[in-house]
Amino acid sequence: MDIATERRDGVLSVLVSGRIDGSNAAAFEEAAKAAMEDSDRAVVMDLEKLSYISSAGLRVLLMIAKSLSGRGAKLVLCSLSDQIREVVEISGFDKIIPVRASRADALASLDA
């Protein structure tokens, strides 16, 4: 698991690559939190290069969504593979976290 980040107009984009499983979900949480700043109005998690995620990783995404929502910011997910979209939908996360087809879509949805 690796992350690469980019910040523009108060929106942090996080490209996550590799896999997030029970053995590295804590490291993912730490890396994502370290990249986030209180002034970010939104975080876009770009999952295009993510090959695998289990409930341990989904749990971290929900925690991040909750903490952002708690201070009036939001999390957006984008570029999900069919398999990842399927588990996100079974979990019901697509009802509480916006899911966009591409990073460009995600960023456009956040334009004020």
Partner 1 sequence: MSAELSLRMKTTLDEIPRVYTALEEFARKENWSSRLEFQIKLVVEEVVMNVLNHGHEGNGEHDIGIELASDEKEIGIEIVDDGRPYDPLTQAPQPDTALSIEDRPVGGLGVYLVCALMDEASYRRDGGFNRLSLVKRRPA
* Closer residue to partner 1 in complex, CB, 5/24: 24
List the interface residues with partner 1, window 37-96 (CB under 8 A).
Answer: 52, 54-56, 58-59, 62-63, 65-66, 69-70, 82-83, 86-87, 90-92, 95-96
Please calculate the CA angle 29-99-82 and round it to the nearest 5 degrees: 90
Strands (E), 1-112: 2-8, 11-20, 42-46, 50-53, 74-78, 99-100
Interface positions with partner 1 (CB under 8 A): 19, 21-23, 52, 54-56, 58-59, 62-63, 65-66, 69-70, 82-83, 86-87, 90-92, 95-97
